[in-house]
Amino acid sequence: MTYTETTTDPADSRPDAAVFTDLVGIAPSFKQIVATLPTIARADGTVLISGECGTGKDLIARAIHDLGPRAARPFVAVHCGTLPDAQFELELFGSERGDDRRDGLLTAAEGGTVLLDEIDALSTRGQVALLRVLQDRIFRPVGGATERQADVRFIAITNSDLPHLVRTGRFRVDLYYRLAVFTVALPPLRERREDVLPLVTHFVARHAGGREPMPQITGRAVEGLLAYEWPGNVRELESAVRRALHVTTGPRIDAEDLGLPIADDGTERASGEATYKVQKRRIVEAFERHYLVRLMTEHRGNVTHAARAAGKERRDLGKLLKRHGLNPRLFARGDAAAAQPALHDAQSIGMPQHVTGHGATA
């Protein structure tokens, strides 16, 4: 099957506070979103979550499930973009045809939540099949003679402008409104820069592997972290921190360790002016990193497919990824480990002793 399933033991349901462990930040826009999650979760209606790649849509979806009345039931995710046109109905409804008998997503997730990732990639046929389930709450397995009740909650995720796809006829308007009973639009990291340092602290604590003392963030690294645009959003920031922890064994993390563009010398940094050569290098580096993050995200870390799409040799693309500290495996799957936020060099980077609040981390 092409879906993943997780369940929660009713005797071990996570308390509300634990649900927010991976939602780190202090930006007002993000705190406002997180504050609405309990209300959305209790309402049990369909949810449409939008935002750029890496903004934390999957974490928000999981939080809605864990905060709602279906928390003790399965949470099943399916990537709509990976399913061939004719297979979506088999995956969703299951089959009772001949020797091909199997349960589908709706049966696997009974009483729980179905997460539809990349809903914008769903074919026209798939949209029609999904619409009927949302309207009537019934389905029929492929080849089956009887209809069944669909006792699930649907949460859909997209990094596309779905209203635009509706206007251009590439997504059904009736399906859109069925999905968008509740909507959550996640801002990109560049619009919540005050969350960069709390997130860095969180990721260092998560990925340091028990290193003592914890690595400290230098002032120059902080300058680079806050100046960078983060086209890959929080996922790219986490990858940069993981890279830094691998390349340095010392007590400090500098801008070079994070793979960030840095100035050539102190004079340039002090004056705020950059020569033509330096500015050109910065722009090229930023473009390369932005392009690579987008490319690897689209191809889910598959270097061969990404190289073909970019018109480059696989070996050359691999070298470019290594130069920018981008590990293809980090684009293929997330890291399920969790850790509480911690402080590293608070005085040198001007962070509070204890970071609280909310903001998506993936």
CA–CA distances in Å: residue 260 to residues 226, 318, 362: 10, 18, 19
Judge if 196 and 307 occupy the same domain: yes
Would you say 34 and 23 are in contact if contact means Cβ atoms under 8 Å apart? yes
Q: Which of 25-29, 167-171, 262-266, 333-337 has the lowest mean pLDDT?
A: 333-337
Judge if 162 and 65 occupy the same domain: yes
Task: Single out the residue in 185, 201, 228 at which a domain terminates.
Answer: 185
Measured N-to-C along each axis, helices 303-310 and 314-323 cross at an angle, to the nearest 10 degrees, of: 100
* pLDDT tier for residue 12 given thresholds of 50, 70 and 90: very low
90: exposed, middle or buried (C-beta count within 10 Å: 0-12, 13-18, 19+)?
A: buried
CA–CA separation, 58 and 4 (whole Å): 13
Place of tokens 């018109």: 311
Helix, strand, or coil here: 77? strand
Judge if 162 and 200 occupy the same domain: no
Q: Is residue 28 part of a domain?
A: no
Q: For residue 344, is pLDDT > 70?
A: no
Q: Would you state the pLDDT for residue 13?
A: 42
Q: Would you state the pLDDT for residue 275?
A: 57
Q: Terminus-to-terminus CA distance in the chain, angstroms?
A: 24
For β-strands 153-158 and 252-253, DSSP reports them as unpaired
| 340: number of Cβ within 10 Å | 11
Q: Is residue 94 part of a domain?
A: yes
* pLDDT tier for residue 10 given thresholds of 50, 70 and 90: very low
Q: Would you state the pLDDT for residue 265?
A: 45
Judge if 146 and 229 occupy the same domain: no
Would you say 104 and 94 are in contact if contact means Cβ atoms under 8 Å apart? yes
- 165 alpha-carbon distance from chain centroid: 21
Q: Is residue 126 part of a domain?
A: yes
Judge if 261 and 312 occupy the same domain: yes
Judge if 235 and 290 occupy the same domain: yes
Please state, for a pLDDT cut of 70, what percent of the chain lies above it. 80
Judge if 127 and 265 occupy the same domain: no
Q: Is residue 217 part of a domain?
A: yes
- What would the pLDDT profile of 177-210 be if each residue is shown by its tens digit? 999 999 999 999 999 989 999 999 999 999 988 7
Judge if 224 and 336 occupy the same domain: yes
Average of per-residue pLDDT values in the chain: 80
**Tally of domains in the chain:** 2
CA–CA separation, 226 and 268 (whole Å): 18
Q: Is residue 356 part of a domain?
A: no
- What would the pLDDT profile of 19-33 be if each residue is shown by its tens digit? 788 899 899 999 999
**Region of residue 357 (left: phi > 0; alpha: psi -120 to 50; beta: else):** left
DSSP string, 239-265: HHHHHHHHH--SSEE-HHHHT----SS
Please state, for a pLDDT cut of 90, what percent of the chain lies above it. 41
Place of tokens 């007002």: 28
Judge if 206 and 67 occupy the same domain: no
Q: Would you state the pLDDT for residue 4?
A: 46
Helix, strand, or coil here: 3? strand
Task: Single out the residue in 169, 185, 201 at which a domain terminates.
Answer: 185
CATH number of the domain within which 204 lies: 1.10.8.60
* pLDDT tier for residue 341 given thresholds of 50, 70 and 90: very low
CA–CA separation, 313 and 322 (whole Å): 14
Judge if 176 and 95 occupy the same domain: yes
Q: Judge if the upstream peptide bond of residue 261 is cis by omega within 30 degrees of 0.
A: no
Q: Is residue 90 part of a domain?
A: yes
Helix, strand, or coil here: 325? coil
Domain with 247, as residue range(s), is 189-349
Judge if 227 and 288 occupy the same domain: yes
* pLDDT tier for residue 131 given thresholds of 50, 70 and 90: very high
Nearest to 33 by CA among 195, 230, 229, 175: 195
Task: Single out the residue in 157, 185, 213 at which a domain terminates.
Answer: 185
CA–CA separation, 314 and 82 (whole Å): 22
Would you say 214 and 349 are in contact if contact means Cβ atoms under 8 Å apart? no
CATH number of the domain within which 54 lies: 3.40.50.300
Judge if 324 and 309 occupy the same domain: yes
Would you say 82 and 126 are in contact if contact means Cβ atoms under 8 Å apart? no
Q: Would you state the pLDDT for residue 53?
A: 94
Helix, strand, or coil here: 281? helix
- Of 276 and 135, more confident: 135
Model-level pTM? 0.69
Q: Is residue 357 part of a domain?
A: no
CA–CA separation, 241 and 257 (whole Å): 8
Q: Is residue 21 part of a domain?
A: no
CA–CA distances in Å: residue 46 to residues 30, 68, 242, 265, 299: 21, 12, 35, 53, 28
For β-strands 94-97 and 138-139, DSSP reports them as unpaired
